[in-house]
Structure 1
Amino acid sequence: MSELRIRAATPDDLDTVLAFWKEAAEGTSISDDRAGVERLVERDAEALILAERGGELVGTVIAGFDGWRCHLYRLAVHPDHRRQGVATALLAAAEERFVRLGGRRGDAMVLVDNERAHHAWRAAGYAPEEHWRRWVKPLV
């Protein structure tokens, strides 16, 4: 098994990332398109973190920091590479980024029905806050 490489995405990676999410990520987001991911990388070049093994994309996480809160989205690992430390490495990179930027606590968007993800997030030290509920309003 070749070594895992963790790095920030570049604009050249975006089509590969979008195709990867269709295969490896659970659910979809209104921002899962070229324009949405392009905006993310243009606004914060270090937010989209990739894991590669042997030159192949095997995992992603978005580690967004708005100056106040640390948000984690799109933690996804290719099914053939799960349970091999990819998510752990991605979360470590995200958390190091947050600490470097002055962040104090990370929060993650996790689908309610994705039990596999619940186990992974708990293993990484995260826990649900049942007293919060996400409220959304589409803007487009």
Structure 2
Amino acid sequence: MNNLRIRTAGADEAGTVLAFWAEAAEGTSITDDVDGVTRLIDRDPGALILAERDGKLVGSVIAGWDGWRCSLYRLAVHPSHRRQGVATALLEAAEERFTRLGGRRGDAMVLEENDRAQRAWAAAGYRRENHWRRWVKPYV
């Protein structure tokens, strides 16, 4: 993990994070805009965890804590930095955060058709729960 730096994002980095997700993440969300990312950081300043190598953004994970659940989203690693321990370092930072806050279990949102992501989550010790389905209703 040579030169890997793990840190939280600042609100002024929303545009940079969105550009990174466009290149490195699978899928999009209704909140994929500067306002959505800035609101996340303002509400939960420790939630958006970034990995940098030599000053370049190479990974991200959202480790959201609402006082009850530990929710993981947007685990993404730049294609040129995959299989180098970046995702492992990000998840370790997220899990340490949750433990510090009193969290008991992490729940990850993983796209059904993203086999690579499913393998990565499984390798990190997460298990799929087939008896749950996500229900959504857009408010805008």
TM-score over 0.5 for the pair: yes
Question: Residue 83 of structure 2 aligns with which residue?
Answer: 83
Q: Distance in 2 between matches of 1:112 and 1:15?
A: 27
Deviation at 1:2, TM superposition (A): 4.0
SS of residue in 2 equivalent to 1:138: coil
Match status 1:65 vs 2:65 = yes
The two structures have a TM-score, normalised by structure 1, of 0.98
Question: Residue 108 of structure 1 aligns with which residue?
Answer: 108
1:29-75 per-residue CA deviation (whole Å, 9 max, x = no partner) reads 00110000000000011000000000000000000001000000000
Deviation at 1:11, TM superposition (A): 1.5
Q: What amino acid maps onto 1:84 in structure 2?
A: Q
Question: Residue 28 of structure 1 aligns with which residue?
Answer: 28
Name structure 1 gaps, 5 residues minimum: none
Deviation at 1:12, TM superposition (A): 2.1
Contact 1:2 1:54 in 2 (8 A): no
Q: Distance in 1 between matches of 2:66 and 2:51?
A: 23
Q: Distance in 1 between matches of 2:24 and 2:58?
A: 9
SS of residue in 2 equivalent to 1:57: strand
Q: What amino acid maps onto 2:13 in structure 1?
A: D
Q: Distance in 2 between matches of 1:14 and 1:134?
A: 26
Question: Residue 119 of structure 1 aligns with which residue?
Answer: 119
Question: For this pair of structures, how many residues does the alignment match?
Answer: 140
Name structure 2 gaps, 5 residues minimum: none
Deviation at 1:3, TM superposition (A): 1.1
Q: Which runs of 4+ in 1 moved over 3 A?
A: none
